[in-house]
Chains A and B, each alone.
Chain A
């Protein structure tokens, strides 16, 4: 415990005006010490079996609870979740809607990254670059050509896909650490280009005046015509991203259970063996990059449409790391896990806004603990598709 005191004191004891103090660091340290003693005591008691009396009623409750949850089929859960997501904006205020939109954007990003990291097993530290490419594609199309959001979506997906192939092509021979470093570099290259190409992207000042997604509504007042409506209100935007997220979920699920998904898993497990089984590893790895990039591009286009402003600052390495953390924390390869991961990493920091200063510290600590005790993530990936367990069970 002494090392903690040694660690804490410089943080809390040295003040900006040059004075030193010991009191505050010492009190905090005492709290931590007391907490540790209580936890250690509980663990020791538990090991000696003295706490079974406390756990017994809980266990009795858990068994029937698990049985009832198991009896309800999965689609009911999905239906409940979908209904909740659908009616959410009716009950939430502006702030809540804003956070929810954020969560859904990250769900799209997390699921896209999951294809690359979770399925194909390639560590990508520059994933946010594709998000940036998508965002800038729509931003520039909207500002220079007044192209509508819906038309720009596929274009953004395409440019992100091309970017995915560009990064995928030279890295195909790399594995593990080397790949991580190259993708990290690529992410930075994209950000720096966006930052410095003044004529096109307006550099660090960003692109202003991006149009919100529009919608043509039939209008019967005074004859039949179509009225063009910009979806500027937050709850409209919420439905747009909800649509995108649902599309992403369905697409990723399809990929998961397809032959392609199986081949990706085989590549993740053992690339050479996969090749010996007749898997075209070259093409499939490229495809993994491209597919991951497409979802990031879609999310990016939406991001630009919602903010109506993009600047390179939104696409830093920290964002890549956050998305990766969601995937790992939620459970690699598991769709509900990643949704939960996105929810946790966006909503929890919002809820603990008061502890602003300690937020990152807590987040880091929580991740270390998660990886120690639940390395598979919140929801460990269940095997999808036509599997032997289903047939027998």
Chain B
């Protein structure tokens, strides 16, 4: 392992009240990769991302970003460091316009010119957003909202992008399109940690994968090998 990991979780524990959500999650993401975490409902996938972003506090364990400990840090300090999340269920700002939503993504930045360039870049990736730039976020369709959420995160110029269930509630065609764009973003140099229930498409687009079951990492391998693993095929890809 020559390359320094961009993100490293060491034995992370969290809980919601008395209920333990993560019981010792360790994983690494190296620069330039697409890494995916797959798992069933309630396995702790979203909790893992929220813990990385500092929304949920840790009970135990450490999180390092670019070699720097970020556990216990305030959530709002992370986007300026290049760590940004596209939360589950999009969570765009419904009563702000598309353009204002994108501007919010660049909230901590003050380089107006570069922000305009980045917005043009987002509109290149998602032409439909440019057509809807004055429309309120809440009036967009599900797929458009997902694009807006990704675009908003891109406005912060992330080095590491956390994506939580980008396929949630979307038509297969749109899912295909979103994953093509995720691949493009990755080729442009952004590392991606992808959380998905749709294991098939997630493992196809990722290089490595982790399997999360009831708060524990139970498997870790190349995405290809996980796709061929009979146990994974049975549990997550719906094959008997």
Cα–Cα, bound, A388→B104 (Å): 14
Question: B106 to chain A: closest CB distance in Å?
Answer: 9
Q: Which residue of B lies closest to A383 (CB)?
A: B97
Contact with B along A261-298 (1 / 0, CB 8 A): 01101100110111111111110000000000000000
- Residues A392 and B53 in contact in the complex (CB < 8 Å), given A269-B95, A280-B76, A383-B97: no
Cα–Cα, bound, A270→B53 (Å): 16
Q: Are A278 and B79 in contact (CB under 8 A)?
A: yes
- Residues A262 and B97 in contact in the complex (CB < 8 Å), given A273-B92, A277-B79: no
Cα–Cα, bound, A265→B104 (Å): 10
Question: A392 to chain B: closest CB distance in Å?
Answer: 7
A residues in contact with B144, CB < 8 Å: none
Q: Are A275 and B93 in contact (CB under 8 A)?
A: no
Q: Are A275 and B55 in contact (CB under 8 A)?
A: yes
B residues in contact with A274, CB < 8 Å: 93, 104
Q: Which of A273, A279, A389 contacts B91 (CB 8 A)?
A: A273
Cα–Cα, bound, A266→B85 (Å): 16
Q: Is B74 an interface residue (CB 8 A)?
A: yes
Q: Is B237 an interface residue (CB 8 A)?
A: no
Cα–Cα, bound, A262→B93 (Å): 11
Q: Is A47 an interface residue (CB 8 A)?
A: no
Question: B112 to chain A: closest CB distance in Å?
Answer: 10
Question: A84 to chain B: closest CB distance in Å?
Answer: 33
Q: Are B87 and A276 in contact (CB under 8 A)?
A: yes
Residues of B in contact, count (CB < 8 Å): 30
A residues in contact with B55, CB < 8 Å: 272, 275-276
Cα–Cα, bound, A275→B93 (Å): 12
Cα–Cα, bound, A276→B161 (Å): 12
- Residues A262 and B87 in contact in the complex (CB < 8 Å), given A281-B76, A387-B97, A388-B134: no
B residues in contact with A280, CB < 8 Å: 74, 76
Contact with A along B82-125 (1 / 0, CB 8 A): 00110100011111110110011101100000000000000000
- Residues A265 and B93 in contact in the complex (CB < 8 Å), given A276-B53, A277-B107, A278-B156: yes
A residues in contact with B94, CB < 8 Å: 269-270
Cα–Cα, bound, A315→B134 (Å): 43
Q: Is B13 an interface residue (CB 8 A)?
A: no
Q: Which of A259, A272, A392 contacts B107 (CB 8 A)?
A: A259
Q: Which residue of A lies closest to B94 (CB)?
A: A269
B residues in contact with A392, CB < 8 Å: 134
- Interface hits, A361-389 → B, CB 8 Å: 383, 387-389
Cα–Cα, bound, A275→B76 (Å): 6
Question: A375 to chain B: closest CB distance in Å?
Answer: 13
Question: B220 to chain A: closest CB distance in Å?
Answer: 26
